[in-house]
Amino acid sequence: MVGVLMLPETIHRRLDSIPNLSRQGKRINGLFRLLDGPELWQKAYEEIAQNQGALTPGSTSNTLDGFSLERVENIIRAIKEGRYQFAPVRRIHIPKPNGKTRPLGIPTADDKLVQAAVKLLLELVYEPVFSDHSHGFRRQRSCHTALDQIRRLWNGTKWIIEVDVVSFFDNINHSVLLRLLSKRIDDKRLLVLIENMLKAGVMEDWEFKASFSGTPQGGVASPILANIYLHELDQFMAEMKADFDQGKERRRTPEYRHLKGVIGRKRAVLATLKAEGADVTSTEVARLLAELEDLEKRLLLTPSADPMDPGYRRLSYCRYADDVRHFTGRWIPFTERRGLEETTLGPTAYPAVKAKGDRSMPSKRERPEDADGRVPQGPRDKVRTALFEPQSPGMQAYIPRHSV
């Protein structure tokens, strides 16, 4: 039995209410019934039809060519009656810049449409709660927004830690993903539909392979499912930042405080002379003005804040899909660094001294051959750290040149 169809107005109101309910931390139910709405499917079709691979066949000859409203109604009916079967994903391998290949899964056109409709529902639930530091595969976000956030916020960087999850999409645990989905979605029928989507299998060289883990790269719903999976990491890093951050601002350097004091005293003398009626062209006033001009220039070249202030530190975090960067805004003593390594996702390498100081995000750098000690490196660990050297020559005096 399919059940009573929802009125279009009811569907619209329900869809509009989901983001607010999600922000309140409530589990969302009744999502499966929203698949009754033709407008949802129309929007799903618009999203996939404009892609270059819209007419690329999956494991069958089923494509978007000749799509019709009747075809959509048949899909909706099959889903509501529990008869819809996802076809295996056709897997191909595309070359990567490093000479390796990346597996790409291509669903059939009907499966793409169903995934797109599910994706729209999941976006209503999760976009309001996703981290502001997550930039991959989200609307109005891209690599450019990630880089812009780094440019604006990652000032005074001392340590950069890069994390790349190896074969992330291929190793997503289905049980864990479904458990995470159930934390915010109280709709068993939708979860069963997503589970069937995940377990549809793969067709490679006309050989069927069951899928026990992973979401195929190329699937319409795979990106948001991956973001839901890594949302736990975003929350973990937010908690880690709250525990790690310390102090309101860096203390002033002794040189900066001294110059500020000298400037303040000379300005007070100058103000007294003017109050007593001294001529602005007098030798004493001219000397004070010249000294103040020289001191102001020296002040501009003097670091105002102590980057090694033990009472101040900051940790920032940025993620694009399974690519992660986080940094600390303070040199971490060795004893503290050891404790920090134990709380991160993997062992961190000792810092490689950056040869040329620039403000770009550091590339992956190998450890210098003359560095002391062995870099702890797990077989699947791709963590790299790099030390930013500041641009100002005056600042370089505060940056340690070697790891301890």
Provide the angle, in degrees to the nearest 10, between the axes of the packed helices 109-126 and 222-244: 30
In this prediction, residue 329 carries a pLDDT of 60
pLDDT higher than threshold 50 for residue 191: yes
Calculate the average pLDDT of the chain.
80
In this prediction, residue 139 carries a pLDDT of 92
In this prediction, residue 347 carries a pLDDT of 34
HSE toward the beta carbon, residue 287, CA cutoff 13 A: 6
Interatomic CA distance for residues 39 and 33, integer angstroms? 13
In this prediction, residue 200 carries a pLDDT of 93
Interatomic CA distance for residues 31 and 51, integer angstroms? 26
- Collapse the DSSP code of 34 into the 3-class scheme (helix H, G, I; strand E, B; otherwise coil) and give the result: helix
Residue 388 CB coordination number (10 Å): 23
Q: Are 23 and 129 in contact (CB under 8 A)?
A: yes
Interatomic CA distance for residues 82 and 193, integer angstroms? 9
Helix (H) or strand (E) holding 294: helix 283-300
Q: Which residue has the higher pLDDT, 216 or 290?
A: 290
Q: Which residue has the higher pLDDT, 196 or 365?
A: 196
In the structure, what pLDDT confidence band is assigned to residue 130 with cuts at 50, 70 and 90?
A: very high
In this prediction, residue 116 carries a pLDDT of 95
Provide the angle, in degrees to the nearest 10, between the axes of the packed helices 109-126 and 8-23: 50
Provide the angle, in degrees to the nearest 10, between the axes of the packed helices 8-23 and 38-49: 70
Q: Is the pTM of this model over 0.85?
A: no
In the structure, what pLDDT confidence band is assigned to residue 173 with cuts at 50, 70 and 90?
A: very high
In the numeric block, which tokens belong to residue 226?
């991956």
pLDDT higher than threshold 90 for residue 158: no
In the numeric block, which tokens belong to residue 44?
């799903």
